Structure 1
Amino acid sequence: MKISIGNDHAGPEYKKAIVKYLESKGIEVTNYGTDSFDSVDYPDFGHKVASDVEEGKADFGIVICGSGNGIAMTANKHQGVRCALCWTKEIAELARLHNDANVISIPARYTSIEQAIAMVETFLNTEFEGGRHQNRVSKISCS
């Protein structure tokens, strides 16, 4: 499995912990995020992660910013990307089960690092349910 991850200045500690977790599971990680707390623009990192998912270079993406909103909006500009803003592992599970989300957005200022890792673990270990949800997911794309 290949994962691309990107974060702005609100998420360096989150990214570091998540990358450590993923690598401990043998998952290949492409890191586009900043390691600094100096202000940066989240779209610069969100677009890189979403492009990897869009182009099939990554199976899933993880994006992190303060609220999770801006970077999720950025990622969702890409065709075939379904980025879900999650703040609990239950929402992360539903994002995969019902929406076939392929990018998870984490709000660093509103979750703990432990919660973020639990959400990522749940997200990556949940399969899309398909069935009645497939028609809805198919309607998400504008193409």
Structure 2
Amino acid sequence: MKIGIGSDHNGFDLKEAINRYLSGTDHEIVDYGCYSCNVVDYPDVAFEVSKAISNEEIDRAILICGTGIGVCIAANKYPGIRAALAHDVYSAERAQLSNNAQVITLGAQIIGEEVALKVVEAYLSVNWQEGSKRKVDKITDNENKFLAKQNQEVAADTHCS
């Protein structure tokens, strides 16, 4: 599986630890930054990773910031993305099994490295079996309706009177 990983400066150290851990697996890792402890705005990284998933450049992703909340919100603003905050093994498994989440998010100031590695392992070890397909489809359908309405409004605004 091709896994994207990204963080802001608050998540840099944890991202590096996860990178080291994943380098010993069969997964291909794509690092979207940040690449140091210099200040980086988490939406920039979250949007880049979300775009890569949308373009099918990667299969799944792990995003990290201080709490995991900011990158989760930002990733979920990208059309078609389902990101889930996961700070325990059960949530990580359910993110994939129940919600087909392409992204899990972690909070470096919330979760320790040892637990984070277990969460990542749990998330990557399961695949969606469409058990909650009806619910996931409702989310997708609602998002598509909203986007279609937005596109209609933009098209209407571009016509000359």
- Give the TM-score normalised by the residue count of structure 1: 0.94
Give the match for residue 140 of structure 1.
139
How far the C-alpha of 1:84 sits from its partner, in A, is 0.3
Give the partner amino acid of 2:130.
G
Report which stretch shifted further, 80-89 or 33-42: 33-42
Trace 1:95-134 onto structure 2 (pairs within 5 A).
95-131=95-131, 133-134=132-133
- What's the secondary structure of 2:16's corresponding residue? helix
Residue 5 of structure 2 aligns with which residue? Answer: 5
Q: Could you tell me which amino acid in structure 2 is paired with residue 63 of structure 1? A: L
- Give the Cα separation in 1 of the matches to 2:80 and 2:20: 27
Q: Distance in 1 between matches of 2:127 and 2:31?
A: 24
Structure 1, residues 84-141: CA drift from partner, whole Å, max 9, x if none? 001111110111111111100001110001111111110011121313x101001112
**1:140 partner SS:** helix
Q: Which residue of 2 aligns with 1:33?
A: 33
User: What is the alpha-carbon distance in structure 2 between the residues aligned to residue 78 and residue 37 of structure 1?
Assistant: 25
Structure 2's unaligned 5+ residue stretches are 145-161
CA distance in 2 between partners of 1:26 and 1:90 (Å): 23
Higher mean Cα deviation, 23-32 or 52-61?
23-32
Structure having the higher Rg: 2
Equivalent position SS for 1:11: helix
More divergent stretch after superposition (76-85 vs 58-67): 76-85
Higher relative contact order (CA 8 A, sep 6+): 1
Letter paired with 2:137: S
* Structure 1 runs, 4 residues or longer, greater than 4 Å off: none
What is the aligned-residue RMSD (CA, Å)?
A: 1.1
- In the alignment of these two chains, the number of paired residues is 142
What one-letter code is carried by the residue in structure 1 that aligns with 2:74?
A: T
- CA distance in 1 between counterparts of 2:5 and 2:73 reads 15
CA distance in 2, matches of 1:12, 1:93: 24
The CA distance in 2 between the partners of 1:114 and 1:50, in whole Å, is 26
In the alignment, the residues of structure 1 paired with residue 127 and residue 57 of structure 2 have an alpha-carbon distance, to the nearest angstrom, of 19
Instruction: Identify, as 1 or 2, the structure richer in helix.
Output: 2
Given residue 86 of structure 1, which amino acid in structure 2 is its aligned partner?
A
TM-score (norm 2): 0.84
Residue 58 (structure 1) aligned with residue 53 (structure 2): no
Q: Distance in 2 between matches of 1:20 and 1:26?
A: 13
